[in-house]
Amino acid sequence: MSDVFSEYASGKRAKVFNKLCCFIQTIPGGDADLELGEHTLIADLALDSLRLVELIFELERCFDTEADEGLMVQARTLGDVVSLFVEECQTSD
């Protein structure tokens, strides 16, 4: 059973990460040469707070869930953001 769950979580994680990267790459004025990975620091993206909120909103809309705002403030890397959405998607399934 745990193998099935880990495959599900891994697939969901990749889907959330890919969608997040797509949203980031559409932001005007972003660093097109910055290689995005789960360890990429949010601070390195040079996003203002409005852009970050827009990214979160797009992910919430895309995955039909709401992110925990308190935990979202603590996110430091793209992987942290992905983890929050994967957990939210699992609890809403």
> What is the three-class DSSP state of 77?
strand
Q: Find the mean pLDDT for residues 4-17.
A: 72
What is the rounded (10 degree) CA torsion for 18, 14, 49, 63? 90
Q: For residue range 55-65, list pLDDT tens digits in order.
A: 889 999 998 98
Question: What pLDDT shows up at residue 2?
Answer: 46
Distance CA 40, CA 53 (A): 18
Q: pTM of the predicted model, to two decimals?
A: 0.78
Give how far Cα 90 sits from Cα of 9, 12, 26, 43, 73, Å.
Answer: 8, 9, 27, 27, 20
Residues in the chain: 93
For the segment 27-34, the average pLDDT, to the nearest whole number, is: 72
Q: How confident is the model at residue 72 (pLDDT cuts 50, 70, 90)?
A: confident
Q: Which domains does the chain have, with CATH numbers?
A: 2-92 (1.10.1200.10)
Confidence of residue 1 (pLDDT cuts 50, 70, 90): very low
| Confidence at residue 28, expressed as pLDDT on a 0 to 100 scale | 75
The three-class DSSP label of residue 1 is coil
